[in-house]
């Protein structure tokens, strides 16, 4: 059981979103942040680094947005849905953009294939959380 799940279990108040969907999103966000941080670095060490510039940039954005979104989603106290929902929208856009670019390199770079997968899973998990909040 992930720490996100354990901590949510012991939250002192109640919250009105499905706990399974919420923890799945938080875990996917943390996974995607880690994958994008590492993939940007893997790209930097490729001999043909000039071809990876777009991938590096989009992965840096995605790592930062996922970490911030994981933080906001982890805070249940006095949650403002107008903030969480618009941030989830931004995170979905970022995961899609980063996932598309990683996929273009997936056949030549195994690290981009792994990162594309993390981005797709995170995009899906954020969309499910957004649907559950509506």
**Contact positions toward a second copy, by CB under 8 A?**
2-4, 6-13, 26, 30-35, 37-39, 41-42, 44-47, 49-50, 53-54, 56-58, 60-61, 63-65, 67-68, 70-72, 74-80, 82-83, 86-87, 89-90, 93-94, 96-97, 109-111, 114-115, 118
Look at the block and give the residue holding tokens 């680094």.
49
Q: How far is CA 85 from the centre of its chain?
A: 14
Nearer to a second copy, 4 or 24 (CB): 4
Nearer to a second copy, 106 or 132 (CB): 106
CA–CA separation, 48 vs 66, rounded Å? 27
Give the list of residues 6+ apart from residue 98 with CB closer than 8 angstroms, or none: 36, 58, 59, 61, 62, 115, 119
CB of 132 to a second copy, least distance (A): 18
CB of 67 to a second copy, least distance (A): 6
Nearer to a second copy, 9 or 131 (CB): 9
Nearer to a second copy, 38 or 132 (CB): 38
CB 88 within 8 A of CB 130: yes
What letter does residue 125 receive in the DSSP assignment?
Answer: H
CB of 128 to a second copy, least distance (A): 18
Q: How far is CA 124 from the centre of its chain?
A: 10
CA–CA separation, 113 vs 61, rounded Å? 18
CB of 79 to a second copy, least distance (A): 8
């Amino acid at each position: 059981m992930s720490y996100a799940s354990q901590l949510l279990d012991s939250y002192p108040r109640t919250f009105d979103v499905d706990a399974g969907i919420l923890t799945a999103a938080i875990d996917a966000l943390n996974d995607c942040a880690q994958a994008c941080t590492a993939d940007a670095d893997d790209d930097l060490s490729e001999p043909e680094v000039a071809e990876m510039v777009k991938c590096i940039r989009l992965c840096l954005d995605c790592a930062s947005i996922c970490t911030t979104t994981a933080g906001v989603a982890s805070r249940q106290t006095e949650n403002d849905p107008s903030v969480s929902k618009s941030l989830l929208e931004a995170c979905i856009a970022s995961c899609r953009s980063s996932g598309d670019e990683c996929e273009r390199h997936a056949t030549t770079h195994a690290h981009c294939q792994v990162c594309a997968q993390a981005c797709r899973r995170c995009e899906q998990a954020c969309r499910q959380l957004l649907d559950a909040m509506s």
